[in-house]
Chains A and B, each alone.
Chain A
């Protein structure tokens, strides 16, 4: 459910603070905040987990979404199937410890295949809990990319990393 204007006043700064904790830790590098965005939205571009492309993080209070837009380039079927399973297993019925899944009271994890063939990873956020949702999504993206690196190294080598022997 879209958050109200009043929610945006508190949710955005709180989520922004979470983003900047990662900047301070050196995890998000060369972060730029995009200026020309709709009201109730924040868009950040930064370097993280990829040697090739910048990561795009969008906080959209009006849609109650926090999203890594276009996180994954076009994927071969086997990689797409892995990503689908990853998302499914982070839902309430997925296997694995609770702290690694998405609490339904926080939100719902989703994948969105875009027109350009890229895939976004996002959370529909409940009750305006944008700060928590942002932190959760960052952890999920970290886990996804490293999991792909372990099992689909040819894909991550081509699209994310120049570091490989």
Chain B
């Protein structure tokens, strides 16, 4: 994808002026608007924010204005690695202290490099960056604790099938097995990431640094994506090379890997076509592989040619538009009717018949499209298995299938979509006038109205969908109209909570307009999290602020982990699940250079959202909107429907 060279407007993208057009408040009227005036009054009354707001050092502006010079031979090992990363269009690097030979070399190649506040968060940020762009990114930590701090982030990326480049330093290999420093056992990084990567190598031979970088990129850019972990002894990163001749097996990118893709077996395509043409209610599950291989347009062609429904799964959504007549994302009651299911790049394939697995009929026949033949028929029997690049397989099927209509199926989907919407609107109506606390349904519905039903173009806003109790409602209303528009933070590994870190990655992706986010470069971003999650990565608000990222972080604050209801009657165990009540995460945001809002009544949510949006557009400053709920909303016995579940796949799914 080379979206960076295309006119954003032509893609349905938006200009900066467009960001200001919403809710009838035009750009000219901003300073005088009552909404903004209320916000200013709030600041003045509190008397704190403007006077004590942190300042961003001039160095950040200087960085943006810096002119990079070409890095020429002789090169260090780190510079060799960085040059290859640049050629391979590494999208970004998120890091914390250490591994500076590599980190600085990558930054000096002009690759956006963000120093965050802890390595777990920066690993999550890199993961989310890639999930929303489709472009490989990297995370980095120093040997020892910097490396081990990244493990959760690496595991989450592995679960989500993200092509994440994990970089870590080692000290000199002369210290192996000596415990000479605080950072002991530094040669054991690779065993630590077993089971959570596609490829890994501790690079110890300086002259092979280019060769092993090639290994890494072959794995990152082919087949089923997963993390790649490289660690470098200092002899490698600090080696000096006079020219390419000092390196072994250093042929260039065009020859150490290929971009040509595997095509499907024609017989398999025909078998799939035969099955689909006989089906009454076929459905495509457009999953992770559909996104990374840009199969969205091909899926749309197939769907429209033969009236085949489409539901999304995976770590991001938008490769099939939510408002399409054939979308089943928000029509879960239609899933049970499918008689043929086409899994496209469904890398996280659950076993059949388990709780939390796919909701399809046990009688549905299965077509599975995967680049890896060892995955065909894994966990579920495949009636037709197609080993292929996902886009090419769908294009072949779309080309071969006869046009057809399935009016009854389309009508059933429409009815299911309307029924689901009515159900969700019912929850909103129940709680929109609740006094003294904000229910999750209010956030979900009014955020959706703000993003998709007002003057903001519906394709504009990228959303990081996180949280726990708020997610159960928000996901029912979130929509995606272009690839990567909604990122499913907790996808598959269930890293529920580090959403501000995920949003850092999404924020950079949109700020720089990388990959799938090119058309909305510079637009505000929204992230959702809960009070259980906010603490995991709240310090990355500081990172968002100093890099002037317009991220609106909505925190659903219900004073507890979402697990408290099971212990409600046990005075010994209940406090384990509770926080102090009415904590002010908005004040923490202000102390970190962001804008803060505290919302305690349902009617105040949308005005706060608008103020935060204004700050995002006018100041490129992040916000926390701290929405005060009560933990009892989680309890269906007191406040139906309580803790809502989800159906896999679809917009609510975590696992599939």
Q: Of B332, B490, B566, B647, which contacts A165 at CB under 8 A?
A: B490
- Is residue B637 contacting chain A, with contact meaning CB distance below 8 A? yes
Per-residue 0/1 for B623-648: is the Cβ within 8 Å of any A Cβ (1 yes, 0 no)? 00000000000001100111111110
For chains A and B in complex, what number of residue pairs have CB atoms within 8 angstroms? 101
Distance in Å from the Cβ of A10 to the closest Cβ of chain B?
22
B302 in contact (CB, < 8 A): no
Closest 9 CB pairs of A and B: A153-B645, A161-B355, A27-B353, A163-B356, A165-B494, A146-B359, A149-B645, A143-B336, A27-B352
Give Cα A23 to B202, complex, Å.
45
- CB–CB B356/A164 < 8 A: yes
Q: Which residues of B lie under 8 Å from residue A22 when comparing CB positions? A: 353, 362
A142 close to B336 (CB less than 8 A):
yes
The B343-382 residues at the A interface (CB cut-off 8 A) are: 351-356, 359, 361-363, 379-381
Q: State A50–B354 Cα separation when bound (angstroms).
A: 7
Interface string of A76-95 (1 = CB under 8 A from B): 10100000000000000000
In the complex, are the beta carbons of A99 and B337 less than 8 A apart?
A: yes
CA distance A91 to B408 in the complex (A): 20
Whether A26 and B644, one on each chain, are in contact in the complex, defined by CB atoms closer than 8 angstroms, is no
Q: Are A139 and B361 in contact (CB under 8 A)?
A: yes
In the assembly, what is the distance between CA of A80 and CA of B647, in Å? 20
Contacts of B355 in A (CB 8 A): 49-51, 145, 149, 156, 160-163
Residues of chain B within 8 A (CB-CB) of A160 are 355
* Contact between A153 and B353, CB atoms less than 8 A apart: no
Say yes or no: A78-B636 contact (C-beta < 8 A), given A97-B408, A139-B361, A153-B644.
Answer: yes
CB of A150 within 8 A of CB of B647, answer: yes
Query: Which residues of B lie under 8 Å from residue A118 when comparing CB positions?
Result: none
Contact: B351 with A149, CB < 8 Å?
no
Identify 10 new A-B residue pairs, CB closer than 8 A, beyond the known A24-B381, A100-B337, A138-B362: A25-B362, A25-B380, A49-B355, A96-B415, A97-B408, A151-B644, A161-B355, A163-B354, A163-B355, A165-B496
Output the nearest chain A residue to B361 by Cβ-Cβ distance: A139
A interface bracket (residues with beta carbon within 8 Å of B) = 35 or more
Are A156 and B645 in contact, with the CB atoms below 8 A? yes
Give the residue of A76, A97, A162 whose beta carbon is less than 8 angstroms from that of B637: A76
Taking a contact as CB atoms under 8 Å apart, the answer to whether A48 and B356 are in contact is no
Residues 35-73 of A, flagged 1 when their CB comes within 8 A of B and 0 if not, give: 000000000000011110000000000000000000000
- 11 of the cross-chain contacts (CB-CB < 8 Å) are A29-B353, A49-B354, A51-B354, A51-B355, A97-B337, A99-B280, A138-B363, A146-B359, A148-B645, A149-B647, A150-B332
Interface of B is mostly: loop
Nearest CB of A to B343, in Å? 15
Encode B528-560 as 1/0 by CB contact (under 8 A) with A.
000000000000000000000000000000000
A147: chain B residues within 8 A (beta carbon): 333
Known: A142-B336, A151-B645. A26 touches B363 (CB 8 A): no
Provide the bound-state CA to CA distance between A96 and B416, in Å.
Answer: 9
Do A150 and B354 contact each other (CB < 8 Å), given the known contacts A97-B337, A142-B362, A165-B494? no
B654 CB-CB contact with A under 8 Å: yes
A contact residues around B494 at 8 Å (CB): 165
A28 at the interface (CB under 8 A from B): yes
**B492-509 interface bits toward A, Cβ cutoff 8 Å, 1 = contact, 0 = none:** 001010000000000000
Instruction: Determine if B356 and A150 form an interchain contact, defined as CB atoms under 8 angstroms apart.
Output: no
Report Cα–Cα, A40/B125, bound state, in Å: 62
CB distance from B145 to the nearest CB of A (A): 27
In the bound assembly, the distance between CA atoms of A38 and B356 in angstroms comes to 36
* B332 and chain A: residue at smallest CB distance: A150
